[in-house]
Structure 1
Amino acid sequence: MTSKHNRWQERWDLNQDDGLAVHDSGLRVRLHDGVGVADNAAEIEQALLPQHGPHNAPAMVRRLIREGAQMLIDPTARGWRG
C-alpha cells in the first residue's frame, strides 16, 4: 500500500534561481538561514480550514513548509529526514 503522500515532490514547482518553491496549493516557501519560511502561510492555512479543520490545517502548512525547504535544499530527496 502506498502512502497518501506518495510522489509528493511532483506537487512542487521549483525556481532555484529565485530560491522559491511553490506548492500546487499556492504556498510559497523560501530558505532563510537553511530553514523554510513561507511567504503566505496564514493565507494557505485559512484556505485549508474548511476542508481540513482548525487542528489539521496548521499542521498541514507546517509539513508543506518542511517539504518546500527540502525541495530547495535537495530536490532529488525521497523523503523528509529532519
Structure 2
Amino acid sequence: MATKVTINLDDQVLAFIDTFAHRQAATLKIKPNRSSFINAILSKYRQELLQQELAAAYQRDAEDTTYQEEVLAWDSVIGDGIDVL
C-alpha cells in the first residue's frame, strides 16, 4: 500500500533525486521516478538500521552474564520430554 504525501526538499536534494532516480533505476530494480527511488533508499536505510540494532542487541546479550546463565540453564533441559511420545 502506498500513501501520497507532500514534502519539502532542498533544491540540491531534489536535483540529486532526479539525477540518481534515473541513473540507478536498473541497479536498484525500480521504476525510474522519484517515488520509487526515495522508497528504495529509505527501505535500504531502514534495513541497515534494523541490522545495526539487532547486532547491538546480540552484543548486549553476549555481555550479559545473567542472561547467559539463564540460556545455559534452559539448554540443559531442552531435550526433556522428547521421548515421551
Task: Using structure 2 for the length normalisation, give the TM-score.
Answer: 0.30
Task: Using structure 1 for the length normalisation, give the TM-score.
Answer: 0.31
Q: 1 or 2 for the larger relative contact order (CA 8 Å, sep ≥6)?
A: 1
